[in-house]
Amino acid sequence: IGFWPSTQPDPLGRYLASLHALRGLAVDVALPGHHGVITDWQGRIGELLHHHDERLEAMYAAAAGGVTALEASVVVFNFDRFSPHEIRFAVAETLAHLEHLAAAGRLERYEKDAYIAYRAR
């Protein structure tokens, strides 16, 4: 889930809400757009929610003292193995998580050296 210039506010929040809504469906088999067939619907949704909970906590810890999205990305992701294209996606994912934390009131946005930055409230 990424945050791009044309993205509506809090894309991660909308995604997490959709996962909670989908969790209530009785699904035997799901055919996702990528990766393999999902035969454990509840388990897969639980994995996705857990992953994003962990990522949110990692982003919160990275942003505690005040960081830009790029600075938080460097802390959370290992750019050594990323292509420039993958780095762009990592920064977009970081922005989605930071924006979600800001929407939840855990982080605040502020200006840092002419950039938007985030820090713990």
Count, residues in the chain:
121
CA distance 83 to 86: 5
Number of domains in the chain: 1
Which residues in the chain land under pLDDT 50? none
H or E element, residue 119:
strand 115-120
DSSP state letters, 77-118: S-GGG--HHHHHHHHHHHHHHHHHHHHTTSEEEEEETTEEEE
Q: Is residue 25 part of a domain?
A: yes
Distance CA 7, CA 87 (A): 18
**CATH code for the domain in which residue 116 is found:** 1.10.10.10
Q: What is the pLDDT of residues 101-121, one digit of tens each?
A: 999 999 999 998 899 999 999
In a domain, 94, yes or no: yes
Q: Residue 3 falls within a domain, yes or no? A: no
In this prediction the pTM is: 0.91
- The reply to whether 5 falls in a domain is no
The amino acid occupying position 6 is S
Quick check: helix, strand or coil at residue 120? strand
Residue 53's contacts (CB-CB under 8 Å, 6 or more residues apart) are: none
Q: Which domain holds residue 60?
A: 11-120
